[in-house]
Amino acid sequence: MSKAVEGIWPEFLAIAREEVGSRTVETWFCAMSFVKWDSHTKIVYLSVPNPFVRDWVAARYTPLLEQSLARLLHEHKVNVHLTQSNEHEKHVMVPEIKAGEQPLSVVPAVRAPAKPVRVRRDHHAQTLYRFDNFVVGSHNSLAYAAAQAVADRLGTLYNPFFIYGNSGLGKTHLLHAIGNEVRARHAGCTILYQSANRFVSDFINAIRFDKVYQFELQYRNVDLLLIDDIQFISNKEQTQEFFFHIFNVLHQAHKQIICTSDSLPRDIAGLADRVRSRLESGLVADISEPSFETKVAIIKRKAEQQGSQVNDDVAEYIASLETNNIRDLEGVLIRLFAYASLTKQAPTLEVAQQALVRRAEPKKAVAITLPAIVQKVAAQFSLSVDQLKSKARTKDITHARHVALFLMKKLTSHSLREIGTFLRRRDHTTVIHALEKIEQLRHKDATCDRLIKNIEHELRAS
Ligand code: ADP
Ligand code: MG
């Protein structure tokens, strides 16, 4: 075979990437290779690793192969023959797929390989995430209660159990907590935790390397299947089909399935209807955004977990940062501890502020926080932060407190409730009242208006 003809295969791969996307190319075409071109019969011989790949490619990509290869070979028309390399044939375990049959529907009938397959008994080793270190707030109480109930009555209560919520809100933590709880109670249980991303790539590799049988065994022999971030199977048609199959096998055997996702099944684009309806058929629980108080509690708990402690003002400072992503807040805490220990200081509020200002992202460093506002306002009125947070209702203190509440609303994206809580005001109508008061005053009193503008300016500049 001449080098020139052999060279058309990489060219075909490039065209195919354009036409059908690189994932399809990696999955199917990269597992194939160019064998020969017979210019008399106008046949291109390509080798495939197994019948599964052969049938899948033949059913879907014959026109693409024949048209593109004809163009590359400067022929009017070519035929493509997909052949299995003999060497590979010895290891083939996937049976022939009959005409018209969906390839994945044959998976349950896959012939066992001669050698027994070793199934990893316990694929679940994350012990840091437990129920006892999961802080419960109103944003996660349903998911938490349901998770405990599911761990209690595996496979019989809510099956599947589906947890969804934004990134960094504790879905993976809860998923592992269930796994750890089940393992602690039932030593013989087989638990398998897998991120959907890994599920997809393992499945693709299983197909490419003839390990579908082993892959399937790993999943169908578990008592508890934990799939994290199931949204990653969207638009992965074959993986979804396989997941659907595994789901049914486990469900019928009353084995528990738990999935997490960043959104509701119905909002995951590119999910097959039948997969979607299976996922919705049990209990669906959400984790919403944590309140300010819960963020504070989580930060304190995380500090303890690291063998350290932070004072209320430090925890409140971190909780007042704009994000609700607990992972990000933990990052801030770690940074604070590192900074404090490097500079040999205690992790006080000032140190926290310094540590944060020195953060790499300039955008976050200038974010105006609730503690910064309160400090600045207190200083302007020659009061202490404690006085602003106190119950005192003298005219001066009340006015300064109103200014602080006004600026907190104006300069941050915190809710009225969070702002009220920060100044130890139980009722958020206090905040509304303060906002109205200050608005009126600024119209009437130019000095007051200027003072507030000054504070705002200084806060933005710092
Ligand atoms: P997700 O999977 O939703 O993106 P994770 O479960 O990975 O989020 O949570 C991110 C981090 O935040 C983890 O370290 C987790 O322990 C922590 N976390 C989130 N919610 C809580 C909570 N309620 N209590 C304690 N830690 C939490
Ligand atoms: Mg996660």
Q: Which residues surround ligand 2, an ion (CB under 5 A)?
A: 171-172
Q: How many percent of the chain have pLDDT more than 90?
A: 50
The Cβ-side half-sphere exposure at 423, using a 13 Å CA radius, reads 38
Alpha helices in 280-369, H assignment, sequence order? 292-305, 312-319, 326-342, 349-357, 362-365
Task: In whole angstroms, give the CA distance from residue 103 to residue 402.
Answer: 68
Whether residues 318 and 451 share a domain: the answer is no
Cβ–ligand 1 distance for 170 under 6 Å, the answer yes
| Residue 364 forms part of a structural domain | no
Cβ–ligand 1 distance for 172 under 6 Å, the answer yes
| Residue 361 forms part of a structural domain | no
For residue 59, what pLDDT is reported?
Answer: 85
| Ligand 1: nearest atom to the Cα of 287 | 3
Whether residues 271 and 325 share a domain: the answer is no
pLDDT band at 16 (very low <50, low <70, confident <90, very high): confident
Contact 246, 196 (CB under 8 A): no
| Residue 365 forms part of a structural domain | no
For residue 121, what pLDDT is reported?
Answer: 38
Whether residues 267 and 405 share a domain: the answer is no
Residue finishing a domain among 286, 311, 345 = 286
Task: In whole angstroms, give the CA distance from residue 127 to residue 213.
Answer: 30
Cβ–ligand 1 distance for 134 under 6 Å, the answer yes
Identify the CATH number of the domain in which residue 384 sits.
1.10.1750.10
Whether residues 170 and 186 share a domain: the answer is yes
| Residue 106 forms part of a structural domain | no
Mutation choice for ligand 1 from 141, 162, 173, 301, CB with most ligand atoms inside 8 A: 173
Contact 66, 31 (CB under 8 A): no
Q: For residue 162, report the distance from its CA to the centre of ligand 1, in Å.
A: 16
Whether residues 207 and 275 share a domain: the answer is yes
Cβ–ligand 1 distance for 216 under 6 Å, the answer no
Read off the tokens for 156: 């019989």
Domain that includes residue 172, residue range? 123-286
Residue 38 phi/psi, 5-degree rounding, is -100, 105
Whether residues 276 and 301 share a domain: the answer is no
Whether residues 195 and 334 share a domain: the answer is no
SS3 label, residue 283: strand
Whether residues 340 and 376 share a domain: the answer is no
Q: For residue 342, what are the CA distances in angstroms to 75, 346, 355, 393?
A: 70, 10, 11, 42
Strand 79-84 relative to strand 43-48: parallel, antiparallel, unpaired?
A: parallel
Higher pLDDT, 460 or 185: 185
Whether residues 452 and 331 share a domain: the answer is no
Strand 33-38 relative to strand 43-48: parallel, antiparallel, unpaired?
A: antiparallel
| Residue 142 forms part of a structural domain | yes
Nearest Cα neighbor of 204 from 27, 17, 60, 49 is: 27
| Smallest CA separation from ligand 1 atom 7, residue | 172
Cβ–ligand 1 distance for 147 under 6 Å, the answer no
For residue 23, what pLDDT is reported?
Answer: 67
Identify the CATH number of the domain in which residue 332 sits.
1.10.8
Cβ–ligand 1 distance for 282 under 6 Å, the answer no
Cβ–ligand 1 distance for 135 under 6 Å, the answer yes
Domains of the chain: total: 4
What would the pLDDT profile of 88-129 be if each residue is shown by its tens digit?
333 333 333 333 333 332 233 333 444 433 333 344 456 789
Mean pLDDT of 387-395: 92
Whether 22 shows a pLDDT value over 90: the answer reads: no
| Residue 96 forms part of a structural domain | no
pLDDT band at 461 (very low <50, low <70, confident <90, very high): confident
| Residue 103 forms part of a structural domain | no
Contact 319, 295 (CB under 8 A): yes
- What's the length of the chain? 462
Residue finishing a domain among 329, 355, 381 = 355
pLDDT band at 6 (very low <50, low <70, confident <90, very high): confident
Contact 254, 156 (CB under 8 A): yes
What value, to the nearest 5°, has the Cα angle with vertex 336 and ends 334 and 340? Answer: 120
| Ligand 1: nearest atom to the Cα of 173 | 6
User: Tokens 């013989």 sit at which residue?
Assistant: 188
User: Tokens 């058309």 sit at which residue?
Assistant: 8
What would the pLDDT profile of 25-82 be if each residue is shown by its tens digit?
877 788 788 999 999 999 999 998 777 678 878 888 899 999 889 888 878 899 999 9
Cβ–ligand 1 distance for 358 under 6 Å, the answer no
Residue finishing a domain among 286, 307, 327 = 286
Nearest Cα neighbor of 224 from 310, 115, 121, 133 is: 121
Task: In whole angstroms, give the CA distance from residue 445 to residue 334.
Answer: 45
Cβ–ligand 1 distance for 25 under 6 Å, the answer no
Read off the tokens for 203: 């499945």
User: Tokens 């300010």 sit at which residue?
Assistant: 292
User: Tokens 């070979």 sit at which residue?
Assistant: 73
Quote the mean pLDDT of the chain.
Answer: 84
| Residue 37 forms part of a structural domain | yes
Identify the CATH number of the domain in which residue 60 sits.
3.30.300.180
What would the pLDDT profile of 266-305 be if each residue is shown by its tens digit?
999 899 999 999 999 999 999 999 999 999 999 999 999 8
**Secondary structure letter of residue 113 according to DSSP:** P
Task: In whole angstroms, give the CA distance from residue 161 to residue 152.
Answer: 13
| Ligand 1: nearest atom to the Cα of 301 | 25
Whether residues 133 and 204 share a domain: the answer is yes
For the ranges 25-29, 133-137, 205-209, 444-448, which has the lowest average pLDDT? 25-29
pTM of the model as a whole: 0.59
What would the pLDDT profile of 207-259 be if each residue is shown by its tens digit?
888 888 889 999 999 999 999 999 999 999 999 999 999 999 999 999 999 99
| Ligand 1: nearest atom to the Cα of 174 | 6
Whether residues 63 and 152 share a domain: the answer is no
Whether residues 172 and 275 share a domain: the answer is yes
